[in-house]
Structure 1
């Protein structure tokens, strides 16, 4: 089981609405999975794995209490059965909302299960932290900072001297 938490300087009801916005999950999970929102409760996930293998599943929201909790689980036929939950709690000192994101993967048995388990053991909790930090940025500033396409930081004259 993977669990991470973060404090966001926004009220729980606003964060809940943002998380449920169909555009949000693809944005905040972009760094490790492709997510396609199908409807209000279902999403299609693709997680790239080793050797150009990818793992796919559909998830469905199974519990929804505005400003309190969102829980989901994978549907039958998932390459990697899993479940997750996002909990919203008032942060101490009126600093906003404390979010706790929990994920549990239940790989299948056999040789495939062993491969999936080995892959998921490499799936660092930092991926969850990064998703939460991306969500915090989106909630507090309206955007997620990206480094894609940024220059390497080399000065043009130095590049000419090194060549």
Structure 2
């Protein structure tokens, strides 16, 4: 990642890719409106402050709420969005989302790369993994929900349905 804090990331690095049957410009525009990103399971809210700055609230391990501010450090319309948490944030994180045309005119490939040091550093990362919080798996599940949302307009769920 391009930011000057790159060397600070010592924790978790997670990466996943998904193909969505939608034009790249549509997928990029949806993602770029960060308030749309609450399809992610742990993300409670995103408040956009301006064109580059945003405030994030997420559920962390053991139900702890995490909040941080982030800034876009590099952006190429319809191709990439790169961000880092602001200095002084409890959550040191950064990431990159790449958007490219899928082979065979099958839509858009979205590649997500996230790097972060959870609260508690290595201890926090071990704690998160101990309780099933595998970041690569969570990104895969979030991207599956995004694919469903963009292709069908909804995310199917069995929540609230009786067991049978």
> What pairs with 1:120-159 in structure 2 (closer than 5 Å)?
120-121=128-129, 122-124=132-134, 125-153=136-164
- Who is 1:36 aligned against? 46
Q: How far has the Cα of 1:107 moved from its partner?
A: 4.5
Structure 1 unpaired stretches of 5+: 154-163
Structure having greater relative contact order (Cα 8 Å, sep ≥ 6): 2
Picking from 94, 104, 125, the partner of 2:115 is 104
- Who is 1:115 aligned against? 123
Q: Give the secondary structure class of the aligned counterpart of 1:146.
A: coil
Relative distance call for 1:80 and 1:22 in structure 2 (3 A) is closer
- Aligned residue pairs total 147
TM-score, normalised via structure 1 length? 0.79
The alignment's C-alpha RMSD in Å is 1.9
CA distance in 1, matches of 2:128, 2:89: 15
CA distance in 2, matches of 1:139, 1:15: 8
Contact in 2 for aligned 1:33/1:48 (Cα 8 Å):
no
| 1:25-55 C-alpha deviation (Å, 9 max, x unpaired) | 11x21x22322223343132223222x4333
CA distance in 1, matches of 2:161, 2:59: 25
- Who is 1:59 aligned against? 70
- Who is 2:14 aligned against? 2
Relative distance call for 1:85 and 1:118 in structure 2 (3 A) is same
Off by >6 Å, runs of 4+ in structure 1:
none
Q: How far has the Cα of 1:68 moved from its partner?
A: 0.3
CA distance in 2, matches of 1:144, 1:116: 30
The higher radius of gyration belongs to 1
